[in-house]
Structure 1
């Protein structure tokens, strides 16, 4: 498994595609296309801007890992009692 991961990383670059993640996150295909083109052209700077933009959509009491999910995924994650922080622990 490690060998396959190293092979993919060397041959194809990072196996974690920011473009696919942005397509999952955006509700409009037009917004997704614009952000994907920005990430392809400007790489890390555009991705950093995208993450900062997405962090503004979170309320102060929401955990930062919710940036990884789209709006439907955020609602699902917050409704799961196993993922809600408990003060008794």
Structure 2
């Protein structure tokens, strides 16, 4: 859901948004990697004076005038998704037990885990970009690895709570320094 939301934000029209979202749903991290690479090729040498990750994350054209607060909508959607995933995982553990059983170790499980960790890597790059210290970035990444989409939704909600509902939603994508026009500080 995170990558699909970013693609819809990043793409200039609905046809390409739908195309990429369908590919993301069907092919997972392979599409995530292809999309990121295609967007990296769109960054021109004239844009390299800016933070390349900001150029990758943000739309390059002007957003239409908004009629509602996308920050509030994002807070609501990702809160619901996080709660839904936490409830689903809790229910599954209660009714079926922990997933560390030999009968669950199939080739599809291996493919799913590899797909999951490739997407976690992409989200982790954004988390490192957003966080002001390495310690907080490492903690969030450990939580992402352990709890997956529950942590992803929680992280997004925490970040959305730090953004005013009047701010443009792209402030969620930037680190705290670049969204205010200050050069990013060295992480310690």
Q: Partners of 1:46 and 1:60 in 2: how far apart?
A: 22
Give how far 1:70 is off: 0.6
Instruction: Give the C-alpha shift of residue 63 in structure 1.
Output: 1.2
Residue of structure 1 equivalent to 2:42? none
1:35 equivalent to 2:140? Answer yes
Gaps of 5+ in 1: 1-5, 77-89
| Larger-Rg structure | 2
Deviates more, 1:15-24 or 1:35-44: 15-24
SS of the residue 2:177 aligns to: helix
User: What is the alpha-carbon distance in structure 2 between the residues aligned to residue 24 and residue 60 of structure 1?
Assistant: 22
Greater RCO structure (CA 8 Å; 6+ sep): 2
With normalisation by structure 2, the TM-score equals 0.33
Task: Work out whether 1:56 is the aligned partner of 2:187.
Answer: no
Q: Please state whether the residue corresponding to 1:71 is helix, strand or coil.
A: coil
Q: What's the counterpart of residue 26 of structure 1?
A: 131
Q: What TM-score does the superposition give when structure 1 sets the normalisation length? A: 0.67
The aligned length equals: 70
Q: Which has the higher helix share?
A: 2
CA positional deviation for 1:9: 1.1
